[in-house]
Structure 1
Amino acid sequence: MKTLMDSTTATAELGWTVFPWEEVSGYDENMNTIRTYQVCNVFDANQNNWVRTKYIPRRGAQRIHVEMKFSVRDCSSIPRVPGSCKETFNLYYYESDADTATKVSPPWMENPWIKVDTIAADESFSQVDLGGRVMKINTEVRSFGPVSRNGFYLAFQDYGGCMSLIAVRVFYRKCPRAIRNGAIFQETLSGAESTSLVAARGVCVPNAEEVDVPIKLYCNGDGEWMVPIGRCMCKAGHEAVENDLCVLSPNVVHNSVKNNIKKAL
């Protein structure tokens, strides 16, 4: 897993573009100070409030994962709240080859923005919880792809809720460099879909050679290696040791030492 953006690491204002959320200092579940965005225009109907992240380079990733931590006010706990009150919000993304967004472009609407999902809270809070300083933080993860431009923006749309967007982490998955079945496989990015399998060719470790079929592994959508095909075997005079490496066998080393002694005599 490789992080592209993490709002909790900011040491100053995040400076995301708002329409018209508010950036404030808040706390995470461990009571660490972080920068958050909040909105609570529940008494006015037909809300359309957006907040947009800064430009996020994708660094070759084809599928993007977004982890969101947020809290939502229980509509039933707000006195005289109208029926338009919501306990959900929408997640969108917009691809771009460069950081060209302005305060009004891309426009605050679906199309050109692409909707990922409507995000609902498992737990909402009430005024009683606030008085007791009890925080009910929800964590949801969504993914989207394929992405092909140099980067993208994320946007969060409130349409009538009372909520705080506490933390946003953006990441992609990859399979790490590994040695399997006598071959070395380099770090490989996961595919564009959650079900994608990306084939990676292995290179035999020193003193080994392929047998039967070309050796492969597949990187799945969770960044895990699977479905090994083929293997590399140690060359004559070598044997496999820990970590699939090939070293000179003891007999070869012994005979080499004996020959060197004979030559010295």
Structure 2
Amino acid sequence: ILLDTTYETSEIGWATYPEGVWDEVSVLDGQRRLLRTYEVCNSYAQRSNQSNWLRTGYIAARGTQRVHVTLRFSIRDCASLRPPPGRRHLACRETFTLLYRQADAAMEAEDWEWTEEAWTKVDTIGAGKSFSRDPGKGGEGPRMDERNLDFGPVRKNGFYLAFVDSGACLSMAGVKVFFHKCPATVHSLAFFHETPSSGGGGASLAEALGSCVVGAHPLGTTKLSLHCGGEGEWMSACDPPGRRGTTVTWSSIPLLDTTQPRDLLYHTFSHKLAGCLKMPAADFTEV
């Protein structure tokens, strides 16, 4: 997990622009738990082209190239809002925009550009469960939406996220930023380091090269490799490149039974996958 404000109770302290449009407040959720949220409701503004920014702090990427974001938010139904006296219409929206900007290190305040041209858009997000009125006025209370998004490839050391409001009554109740990874594992007597999912260019698989554990040597001449899938599961190429069905899940690949004769092991597995064989005791040299 790179960032998670879902159950944050202390000040978050993100940057806003213009000042004073987004408010950081403490609220109680449906289970009476104290949470920190950011809220904006500028639907009564005179300008219809407003742009209200909420920007996270610097988020280190930790080697990942594809980032996943889970947002918890609520948006009020524009139809439940009435224009103030003397005006016919509201500058009301039921959407907001998620952007990101890559950086090798935290940026100084004077280097910021509060324009979408300097950022990369992830998506425009709308309400699936907008609510109408406050409970105290006989209406339903806020209804939480949850949205899962991802972006990449991330080619720098980290990034910032920004939420841009253009006139919604919006509460940002939780932001979780994370990446999938395959844990370190030993497969067919080969060790593979922990590997973030998704290779260069946002590819669905990331290759990891392994090395034989102590007391084992390579089987065949094929390089020792596994692939980390998009959801953090190890996969292995079992067929020649270019053929369909070249990947199978880790659970379907048998570990080598090194109690069998070596020639039987070789003919059974060497045409399917790269691996390592346990060396006989005679192969070890005591120092």
What TM-score does the superposition give when structure 2 sets the normalisation length?
A: 0.74
1:51 to 2:60 alignment: no
1:78 to 2:85 alignment: no
Q: Distance in 1 between matches of 2:201 and 2:257?
A: 34
Q: Distance in 2 between matches of 1:11 and 1:128?
A: 23
Matched with 1:258 is none
Displacement after TM superposition at 1:188 (Å)? 0.6
5+ unaligned residues in a row in structure 2: which ranges? 240-254, 266-275, 282-287
Give the residue type in structure 1 aligned to 2:4. D
2:4 is aligned, of 6, 24, 31, to 6
Displacement after TM superposition at 1:9 (Å)? 4.9
Give the residue type in structure 2 aligned to 1:198. A
Matched with 2:271 is none
Q: Distance in 2 between matches of 1:92 and 1:35?
A: 21
Matched with 1:158 is 165
Matched with 1:35 is 36
1:234 to 2:258 alignment: yes
Kept in 2, the 8 Å contact 1:208–1:232? The answer is no
Q: Distance in 2 between matches of 1:48 and 1:91?
A: 12
Kept in 1, the 8 Å contact 2:96–2:126? The answer is yes
Displacement after TM superposition at 1:184 (Å)? 2.6
RMSD: 3.1
Displacement after TM superposition at 1:84 (Å)? 3.4
1:201 to 2:248 alignment: no
Q: Distance in 1 between matches of 2:231 and 2:202?
A: 7
Matched with 1:223 is 232
More deviation, 21-30/112-121? 21-30
How many positions carry a matched residue from both structures? 243
1:93 to 2:91 alignment: no
Displacement after TM superposition at 1:220 (Å)? 1.5
Matched with 2:133 is 127
Kept in 2, the 8 Å contact 1:211–1:232? The answer is no
Displacement after TM superposition at 1:174 (Å)? 0.7
Q: Distance in 2 between matches of 1:28 and 1:101?
A: 35
Displacement after TM superposition at 1:216 (Å)? 2.2
Matched with 1:116 is 122
Matched with 1:261 is none
Kept in 2, the 8 Å contact 1:208–1:233? The answer is no
Q: Distance in 2 between matches of 1:83 and 1:134?
A: 21
Give the residue type in structure 2 aligned to 1:90. T
Matched with 1:138 is 145
1:186 to 2:184 alignment: no
Kept in 1, the 8 Å contact 2:131–2:140? The answer is no
CA gap 1:227/1:66 in 2 versus in 1, 3 angstroms: same
More deviation, 213-222/154-163? 213-222
Deviations 1:36-79 (A, max 9, x none): 11000112222210111111111111111111100000111112
Matched with 2:182 is 175
Kept in 2, the 8 Å contact 1:204–1:232? The answer is no
